[in-house]
Structure 1
Amino acid sequence: MDIVLTILVWAFPVLLAITLHEAAHGYAARHFGDPTAFLAGRISLNPLRHIDPVGTIAVPFGIVLLNLVTGASFPPFGWAKAVPVDFGRLRHPKRDMLWVAAAGPAANLAQAFGWGLMLGLQNALDGYGGDLFYQMGVAGIMVNLALMLLNLLPIPPLDGGRIAISLLPAPLAYRFAQLERYGFMILIALLYLRVLDYLVWPLIAPLKAIIMALTGA
């Protein structure tokens, strides 16, 4: 029963966080001149269009179950199928890359505040919706903060890497972009060596506290 309740609490926030993250990339790309994601039907709130069986389902829920079984507290995170973006079709490719990349983490930050506001409303209604809704709201804040912070790491092809490429002078940006082929391996190494335990995950609790304080959650 604990496993079923845990999945119920986390399933919707995880799917929504990943879906809106990817849709935001596609919307920003279309806004700045690249209709590739739009033509591929990826500017959509339908999670089925964005789900990656490993990154959207196996990894986040594997982490949730690992936490439940072992008592660990690893923040759940995951990924979806990357939204196709042809940066060459953007009106100002190097400059607009920053806004397209930043749209995903911005969507997660907005969702974290959205969950906080719903919890604030629940408090104002004397706990209407019960403990399960409260736990889902907290899960929504945490998963969106984890996804935002992870994607802001300056490692291409993560969003932080794209932002760095946009900001660096052209020669340095070109060299930095060559890391993209190794980006996933670098991320796995950081996870395995628990570097993120010091660089990223400690930021979740204070940011969560700030959001809950600002929203009355």
Structure 2
Amino acid sequence: MTTSIFPQIMAMFAQLLPAFILVFSFYGFSRALAAKLMGDHTAQHEGFLTLNPAAHIDIFGMLITLAIFVVVNTLISGGLAFPIIIAILILIGARWRKIVPINEEMFRHHRLGILATTLAGPIGSFFLTFLSCVAIRFFPIQAVSAPVGKTVTQLLGTITELSAFWGVLELIPFPPFDGGRLLQVVLPRSKEWIIEWFEIYGVFVFLALIILPGVSTIFIGGLHTLATIVKLIALKIAFIGA
């Protein structure tokens, strides 16, 4: 059994590694770019305004987290396995993602800056979803061998899947997700205790949402549905006129 699973694990690892690197590099770059446009050059000065993976990822930590992902995903079956594992790995693998440094005091317009830098990551992820769909459309699959064509299309499909789901996931409106920063925009100062509460207990709220029977089905299923909608929209736009 181990012998039969090992090639599957290695194949998945080889496919997911470049996808993870591209998605999270693109995500960090998008946030750094938004911060610069809003007047904060901190991320640019510290080398985050680049698609170079070394600026956004601790490669060793990512390899360990990715290895866990591949093994668990291979052993778990079911349509929701992918989003569930991705969500859990956010908690155990948070340290391998380098956080883009943002100084909100440098924003020309404080609330607008928070809004822009919060949405930049998810929007960047959705744009990458679209670019992957465009690549799928125009990849000259007839001009390459069948194994190469299959490998490339599977990789592009993985990038599409991961970028769409990651963008949706980070829009969850409470810490530790980027969407939690939106609370700073919509809540009055008298309600700042809500933000402080989520900063302490948000992880536990998230765990409850993905673990509790019934609740987890609705929550994870909802995230998966939203990610699917993003992918379908990207595909529809990419294949206009096809």
TM-score tier (shorter): 0.7 to 0.9
- Which residue identity does 2:142 align to in structure 1? D
Q: Which residue of the other structure, out of 117, 130, 142, is the alignment partner of 1:126?
A: 142
- Mapped pair 1:175 → 2:198: no
- Mapped pair 1:93 → 2:110: yes
Q: 1:150 to 1:11 in 2, by over 3 A?
A: same
Across the aligned residues of Structure 1 and Structure 2, the Cα RMSD in angstroms comes to 2.5
Of structures 1 and 2, the larger Rg is shown by 2
User: Following TM superposition, where does structure 1 have runs of at least 4 consecutive aligned residues deviating by more than 4 angstroms?
Assistant: 52-55
Q: Tell me, in whole angstroms, the C-alpha distance in 1 between the residues paired with 2:67 and 2:52.
A: 20
Cα distance per residue 1:165-206 (max 9 Å; x no partner): 22334433x233212233333333323333632331233334
The runs of 5 or more residues in structure 2 that have no matched partner are 1-6
- Which residue identity does 2:43 align to in structure 1? A
Q: 1:35 to 1:185 in 2, by over 3 A?
A: farther
Q: Which residue of the other structure, out of 38, 41, 55, is the alignment partner of 2:44?
A: 38
Q: Tell me, in whole angstroms, the C-alpha distance in 2 between the residues paired with 1:202 and 1:61.
A: 26
Q: Is the 8 A contact 1:26 1:83 kept in 2?
A: yes
Cα deviation for residue 142 of structure 1 reads 0.6
Q: Is the 8 A contact 1:18 1:56 kept in 2?
A: no
Q: How many residues align?
A: 215
Q: Tell me, in whole angstroms, the C-alpha distance in 2 between the residues paired with 1:59 and 1:155.
A: 23
Cα distance per residue 1:7-57 (max 9 Å; x no partner): 121111111111111121112112212122122222222212222469744
Alignment of 1:183-202 (within 5 A): 183-193=202-212, 194=216, 196-202=219-225
- Mapped pair 1:15 → 2:13: no
Question: What is the TM-score with the length of structure 2 in the denominator?
Answer: 0.78
Cα deviation for residue 65 of structure 1 reads 2.5
Q: 1:55 to 1:111 in 2, by over 3 A?
A: farther
Q: Tell me, in whole angstroms, the C-alpha distance in 1 between the residues paired with 2:39 and 2:199.
A: 23
Q: Which residue of the other structure, out of 112, 134, 140, is the alignment partner of 2:159?
A: 140
Q: Tell me, in whole angstroms, the C-alpha distance in 1 between the residues paired with 2:227 and 2:67.
A: 19
Cα deviation for residue 98 of structure 1 reads 0.2
Secondary structure at the residue paired with 2:142? coil
Q: 1:171 to 1:127 in 2, by over 3 A?
A: farther
Q: Is the 8 A contact 1:151 1:158 kept in 2?
A: yes
Q: Tell me, in whole angstroms, the C-alpha distance in 2 between the residues paired with 1:54 and 1:92.
A: 38
The runs of 5 or more residues in structure 1 that have no matched partner are none
Counterpart of 2:129 in structure 1 is: 112
Cα deviation for residue 125 of structure 1 reads 4.7
Q: 1:96 to 1:85 in 2, by over 3 A?
A: same
Q: 1:106 to 1:89 in 2, by over 3 A?
A: same
Q: 1:66 to 1:107 in 2, by over 3 A?
A: same
Identity among equivalent positions (%) equals 25
